[in-house]
Amino acid sequence: MAPDYDVEFIDRGDRDREARFLVRDVSPAFANGIRRAMIADVPTLSIDEVRVIENSSVMFDEQIALRLGLVPLTTPDDYEIGETVTLALDVEGPGTAYSGDLVSTDDRVEPADKNVPIIDLKDPEGSETPQRLEVEADAVYDVGREHAKHQGGVAVGYRHLQTVEIVGDADEYGDDDPHILRGVIEEDGELIPTEEFDHDLTQRYPGKEVEVHDVPNAFVFHVETDGSMSVDELVTQAVDTIHGRASELKDAVQL
């Protein structure tokens, strides 16, 4: 009765941030559990408290703080929930303060993207000093359930793997409307992403009438992270959170 999963990669995007993979023989409940765990239960570091030393920019401290909170930070996996790292930012105008200007006390923690604009700082005419932003910020390690800024997975979902059955010839004088299908189809054991035929089944099976069926218990996951960790880390950590809760339940039941 042991589950017997089979995972196969369909494509891996560059920089480890995006991947599409097929899992076979997985129950819908478990597939959804993993999807939800990837979104809400895998913790990441995110700025949560900001100490504003100087802010002569045109935006309020709170607005700047919100923007800093939304910057994805690379997250090592040896942090504990609630643990913090301190970062600093000091930029003077004229010019733009970017996420890449953040300096961290832990060199494994840095902005996942260096080119996220925080705010444009001016050197206004007639002013003695240019606008300046100097802050110190604490990033905290927490889960997406607490705040969306902690979500590691930003575009996580799955579709059924599908098969296409040819049921006959298309009506000769019928409309030649496209038959759009998005996802991955299986054809004689071969996996074909629908991009290959422009998501249009009439291109792949011209003149045929087709029926599309879901392959039971086979799901094509699409996972994209915000850069705080790789897809592999996100998936394995999500599975581990489910495992962790099951073992916690077992321990609690035994008492």
Partner 1 sequence: MELRVIEKTDTELSIEIAGEDHTFMNVLKGALLESEGVEAATYDVNPEQSGGQTEPILTVKTQEDVDALDALEAGADRVMEKADDFRSAYEAA
Partner 2 sequence: MSYKCSRCKRDVELDEYGGVRCPYCGHRVLLKERSRDVKEVDVN
52 binds, among partner 2, partner 1, none (CB under 5 to 8 A by kind): partner 2
Measured from the CB atom, the residue of 61 and 233 that comes closer to partner 2 is 61
235 binds, among partner 2, partner 1, none (CB under 5 to 8 A by kind): partner 1
7 binds, among partner 2, partner 1, none (CB under 5 to 8 A by kind): partner 1
Which residues bind to partner 1, rule: CB under 8 A? 1-9, 21, 23, 26-30, 32-34, 36-37, 40-41, 145, 232, 235-236, 239-240, 242-243, 245-250, 252-254
Q: Residue 185 contacts by C-beta under 8 Å, 6 or more apart in sequence? A: 161, 162, 163, 164, 191, 192, 194, 212
147 binds partner 2 (CB under 8 A): yes
Least distance (Å) between residue 104 CB and partner 2:
16
Number of H helices, E strands in the chain: 4, 12
> What H or E segment, with its residue span, contains residue 241?
helix 231-254
Measured from the CB atom, the residue of 147 and 159 that comes closer to partner 2 is 147
Residue 180, number of CB atoms within 10 A of its CB: 11
Return the beta strands (E) in 56-150 as ranges.
Answer: 84-92, 95-98, 103-104, 117-121, 132-142
By CB under 8 A, the residues from 40 to 69 that bind partner 2 are 46-53, 55-56, 61-62, 65-66, 68-69
Measured from the CB atom, the residue of 69 and 183 that comes closer to partner 2 is 69
- From CA 163, how far away is CA 88, in angstroms rounded? 53
Whose tokens are 């504003």? That residue is 52
- From CA 45, how far away is CA 149, in angstroms rounded? 9
Least distance (Å) between residue 114 CB and partner 2:
20
56 binds, among partner 1, partner 2, none (CB under 5 to 8 A by kind): partner 2
Helix, strand or coil, per DSSP, at residue 66: helix
Q: Would you tell me which residues interact with partner 2 (CB under 8 A)?
A: 46-53, 55-56, 61-62, 65-66, 68-69, 128, 136, 147, 149
